[in-house]
């Protein structure tokens, strides 16, 4: 087998895999965060001979809080997280053994003027420590739409906001579940009251790419590198 011929394709495959590990830039109009279509907002009309049709009623004296598919809700982003962890460990071990020189009839036994007394000793120690801390803060607002109303009244929401800047784009994406009673009279809700929340804040462009480690640096910092 020609090793040289095998090395080149193998290297290409490794470089391709490492390059594919880089995160792909997000794009707007993702269906997972898109608002519902007009066809999904109202159920199909039923020709039952009645003037009243479920799903088409209008509240003349009620508030305007979102409660139907397609309604808009303002999310107040109030996310603050902080975590810290510290570990330390110490181990030590020491041992000592001595073999005395044997005696015969009261006389020390030896060979060539040397006795047979032997001593063994060993010691070892280990000490390690680690510290980790992380703190995040996200504040702002984003308007989302109701994509589904469950039988128990819980509403599924989704939406995204894109900002086009000089050196790229920034976006906020959010999905989750909310209770109608948590929506304020101003038709907004805190992000801390969203169940199963998925909140993403990132961007595309030169500034964002400059803060991302390259694939070659990732390789040398990964567990694949032996040092």
The first and second tokens of residue 158, run together, are 């989704």
How many Å apart are CA 154 and CA 46, to the nearest integer? 25
Q: How many CB atoms lie within 10 A of CB 7?
A: 10
Closest C-alpha among 38, 54, 73 to residue 174: 73
DSSP calls for 130-145: EEEEEEEEEEEEEEEE
Closest C-alpha among 141, 162, 161 to residue 205: 162
Question: Does pTM surpass 0.85?
Answer: no
Task: Identify the pLDDT of residue 23.
Answer: 46
How many Å apart are CA 128 and CA 137, to the nearest integer? 31
Q: Note whether 118 and 109 are within 8 A (CB).
A: no
Closest C-alpha among 85, 190, 81, 84 to residue 136: 81
Task: Identify the pLDDT of residue 73.
Answer: 95
How many Å apart are CA 152 and CA 180, to the nearest integer? 10
Each residue's pLDDT expressed in tens, for the chain with a length of 227 residues:
544 454 545 454 455 544 444 445 778 888 888 888 876 666 555 556 556 555 555 566 666 788 888 999 999 999 988 888 888 888 888 888 887 777 776 677 776 667 777 777 888 888 888 888 888 888 999 999 999 999 999 999 999 999 887 777 888 999 999 999 999 999 999 999 999 999 998 887 665 566 566 666 666 666 666 65
Task: Identify the pLDDT of residue 181.
Answer: 92
Task: Identify the pLDDT of residue 6.
Answer: 45
DSSP calls for 41-99: HSPPP--SS-S--TT----SSS-----STT-EEEEEEEEEEEEEEEEEEEEEEEEEEEE
Exposure class string for 187-215: b at 16+ Cβ within 10 A, else e: eebebebbeebebebebbeeebeeeeeee
């Amino acid at each position: 087998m020609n090793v040289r011929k095998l090395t080149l394709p193998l290297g290409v495959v490794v470089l391709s895999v490492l390059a594919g590990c880089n995160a792909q830039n997000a794009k707007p109009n993702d269906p997972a965060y898109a608002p519902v279509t007009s066809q999904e907002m109202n159920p199909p009309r039923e020709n039952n001979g009645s003037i009243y049709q479920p799903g088409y009623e209008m509240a003349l004296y009620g508030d305007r809080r979102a409660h139907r598919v397609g309604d808009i809700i303002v999310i107040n982003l109030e996310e603050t997280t902080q975590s810290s962890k510290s570990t330390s460990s110490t181990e030590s071990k020491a041992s000592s053994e001595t073999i005395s020189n044997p005696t015969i009839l009261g006389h020390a036994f030896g060979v060539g003027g040397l006795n047979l007394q032997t001593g063994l000793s060993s010691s070892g120690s280990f000490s390690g420590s680690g510290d980790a801390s992380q703190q995040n803060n996200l504040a702002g607002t984003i308007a989302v739409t109701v994509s589904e109303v469950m039988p128990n009244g819980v509403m599924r929401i989704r939406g995204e906001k894109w900002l086009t800047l000089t050196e790229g784009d920034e976006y906020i994406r959010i999905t989750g579940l909310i209770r109608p009673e948590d929506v304020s009279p101003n038709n907004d809700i805190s992000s801390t009251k969203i169940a199963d929340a998925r909140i993403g804040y990132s961007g595309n462009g030169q500034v964002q790419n400059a803060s991302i480690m390259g694939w070659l640096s990732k390789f040398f910092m990964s567990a694949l590198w032996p040092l």
